[in-house]
Structure 1
C-alpha cells in the first residue's frame, strides 16, 4: 500500500538548495536523485517552509514502507545520511503517513497546488480506533467545506502517521494525523479563514476528542520524478 515519508531537515544558515548551480544546490540534487534511484520510490517533493525558511521539507512517495526500510539497510544509505549531515544544523527526522488519496500529487506538487498547508494533529498514543475513525470522518467533512466554499482551494490529502512521534512542547509521544490542503497562495488561505464558512466548520478539527496539539505551516513544493 502506498505511503508517504515526511522528512524535516533543519538547514544551516547558508545551505539553501534553491540555486541548482550552487554547491549546495548540486548536493541537494544528488540527494534527491539518490532517493529516486531506490526501488519502490515514486517521486519526491521538496521545499522550504514559508514560516521558517531554515526548515527544508521532503515528502517521498513510496510503493510501501518496506521499500524504504530496504533502502535504510542498503550500503548506499550511510553515505547518503553523511551528505545530509553537511547541510543540516540539527537532527533530521522522518515518519510515514498513510495519506489518501495516494499518491497525493495534487495536494503537494506546486504545479497543481502553488502552496500546501500542512496540518499536523496529535492525540494520545493509545487513541482508540473508533476515535481515529471519527477524526477521519470529521476531516472529510472539513474538506467538503473547502470544496464547496473556497474558490482558491486546489486539492487535499490526509491520513494517519504509522509511527508514534514526539508532540512539540511536550515530553511525550503521540498518535498523529496529517492533513494537506492545497491553495493558490498563502493569502488565499488567510482570506478563507475570515469567511463564515470556515468559522462554522473549524470545529471539525479543533473539536477533535482528546486533541493534544495542532500545528500548521505552509510550503511550496517542487515535484521531482524518475
Structure 2
C-alpha cells in the first residue's frame, strides 16, 4: 500500500485576506480554494494556519493518499502580497504519518522546521545524519520530562523537489529534511532548546546543516482543520 504524502504550501497573503474572519470576502474566497481541494481524488486531510513569526504567512498542509496528489499554486495568486515570492510547495513522507491522527490540528502549536544539508553528503554521512535525527527525536520525546517535551514528532526528507538551490552548499544544491513537532506553546519550545538534552543531540546535526533556505526558516503554526 502506498504511503501517504504530505504537501506543505507556504505563501504570504495581503493583510486583508483573513480566512478566519467570516466577514472577510477575500478570506472566504481563499477558504473556498482550500475546501475545493477536498474534492480532489486522493485527498485525505488538510489544515491551514498562520505563522507566529509573520501572521501574513500561511502554511497549508494537504495529506494525499499517494504521490499523484497535488494542489494548484496558480489558484493562490489573487491572494498573494505584492512583494511575495511564489508559493513554495514541499512534498514529504512523514514518519509517523500525520494523516490518520489529525496531528497538526491537535497540537496547540506546531513547529515546522526545514533542515537543509549539502547534496554532496556521502552515503555514510547520510546514514550518520539519519541516525542523528532519530537520536534528536529520542532525546526530546523520551528523555525530557513529559510536560516539557514535544506533544508529537513527525519527520521525513523532502521527496519533491528532491533538491533545492542553495548558495552556501558546495554543490550548489541542498537536500531538505522536514520536522513537524507539536508543542504546548512557543515558549515551551524555546525552553526545551535550552536543555542539555536538546543542545547535545542537535549539535552534530548543526555541524552538517546549511543556513535556512530563504522563505523556509523555522515557523510556528496553530493549525485549523479544513
Same fold (TM over 0.5): yes
Separation (CA, whole Å) in 2 of partners of 1:205 and 1:104: 27
Q: Give the one of 139, 148, 156 matched to 1:145.
A: 139
**Pairwise CA RMSD of aligned residues?**
2.4
CA displacement 1:64-121 (0-9 Å, x = unmatched): 11133xxx6xxxx5xx734x2111123112121121111356585232x111111111
State the shift of 1:202 in Å: 2.2
Separation (CA, whole Å) in 2 of partners of 1:67 and 1:174: 24
Q: Structure 1 residues 175, 13: closer, same or farther in 2, change over 3 A?
A: same
Structure 2 residue matching 1:141: 3-state secondary structure: helix
Matched residue, 2:74 = 81
Unaligned runs of 5+ in 1: none
User: Is contact 2:153–2:180 with CA below 8 Å preserved after alignment?
Assistant: yes
State the shift of 1:192 in Å: 1.5
Separation (CA, whole Å) in 2 of partners of 1:9 and 1:44: 16
Q: How does 1:163-174 map to 2 (within 5 A)?
A: 163=161, 164-167=163-166, 172-174=172-174
Matched residue, 1:103 = 98
Matched residue, 1:94 = 89
CA displacement 1:22-64 (0-9 Å, x = unmatched): 2123112211111111010111121111111111111111111
User: Is contact 1:104–1:156 with CA below 8 Å preserved after alignment?
Assistant: no
Please give the TM-score of this superposition, normalised by the length of structure 2.
0.83
Does 1:136 pair with 2:130?
A: yes
User: Is contact 2:118–2:210 with CA below 8 Å preserved after alignment?
Assistant: yes
Q: Structure 1 residues 194, 123: closer, same or farther in 2, change over 3 A?
A: closer
Separation (CA, whole Å) in 1 of partners of 2:17 and 2:168: 27
Matched residue, 2:199 = 199
Matched residue, 2:113 = 119
Deviates more, 1:161-170 or 1:58-67: 161-170
Q: Structure 1 residues 55, 173: closer, same or farther in 2, change over 3 A?
A: farther
Q: Structure 1 residues 172, 49: closer, same or farther in 2, change over 3 A?
A: farther
Separation (CA, whole Å) in 1 of partners of 2:21 and 2:52: 17
User: Is contact 2:45–2:99 with CA below 8 Å preserved after alignment?
Assistant: no
State the shift of 1:196 in Å: 2.3
Separation (CA, whole Å) in 1 of partners of 2:23 and 2:193: 39
Q: Give the one of 207, 210, 213 matched to 1:212.
A: 210
Q: Structure 1 residues 26, 8: closer, same or farther in 2, change over 3 A?
A: same
Higher percent of residues as helix: 1
User: Is contact 1:95–1:161 with CA below 8 Å preserved after alignment?
Assistant: yes
How many aligned residue pairs are there?
A: 211
Q: Structure 1 residues 104, 119: closer, same or farther in 2, change over 3 A?
A: farther
Matched residue, 2:155 = 158
